[in-house]
């Protein structure tokens, strides 16, 4: 497949709502250093719909999807990554203090695809990760979903 997408150049970015409940379309802050994203391609719960009319097999209807609570994004820990993430965290915290219903949206932008995945989240701080001798220090960033994912056009990024 010549047009297969790759993870090369994937951008993870954040923007906080100016108006509660309205996903920002512009001003996303790209943070460099992420190494992995969670799986958003989750199967829906299966709701059994079998009746006495079924003679051999159970039947099902699709239910809600569950991303499993806090989303885990992997990153390489560096002073630059920490400072950039914590700046977004503080912006989100200040917005929530002013209006508790304001969310921050995380965007996953895959090069070569004119759509991006967005999810409203509440950010957590970065703690000290487990470490092994003679290795790169990686960290898990936890983002708690506070609404449903959206697939839409690529964002406009804030100037760096």
CB 29 within 8 A of CB 36: no
The per-residue pLDDT for 160 is 62
Q: What is the mean pLDDT of residues 65-70?
A: 86
**pLDDT above 70 (res 109):** yes
pLDDT in tens, 73-95: 999 999 999 999 999 999 999 99
**pLDDT above 70 (res 126):** yes
The per-residue pLDDT for 113 is 93
The per-residue pLDDT for 67 is 83
- Of 109, 123, 116, 119, whose CA–CA distance to 147 is shortest? 119
The per-residue pLDDT for 137 is 96
The per-residue pLDDT for 69 is 86
- pTM score: 0.89
Domain boundary assignment for the chain: 11-153
Q: What is the mean pLDDT of residues 110-125?
A: 95
């Amino acid at each position: 497949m010549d047009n297969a997408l790759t993870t090369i150049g994937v951008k993870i970015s954040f923007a906080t709502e100016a108006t509660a409940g309205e996903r920002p379309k512009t001003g996303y802050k790209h943070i460099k250093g992420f190494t992995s994203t969670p799986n958003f391609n989750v199967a829906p719960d299966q709701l059994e719909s079998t009746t006495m009319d079924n003679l051999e097999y159970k039947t099902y209807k699709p239910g809600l999807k569950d991303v499993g609570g806090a989303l885990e994004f992997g990153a390489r820990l560096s002073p630059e990554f920490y400072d950039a993430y914590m700046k977004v965290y503080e912006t989100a915290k200040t917005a929530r203090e002013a209006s508790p219903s304001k969310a921050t949206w995380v965007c996953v932008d895959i090069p070569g695809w004119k759509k991006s995945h967005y999810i409203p989240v509440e950010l957590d701080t970065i703690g000290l990760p487990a470490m092994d001798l003679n290795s790169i220090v990686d960290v898990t960033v936890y983002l708690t979903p506070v609404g449903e994912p959206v697939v839409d056009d690529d964002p406009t990024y804030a100037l760096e």
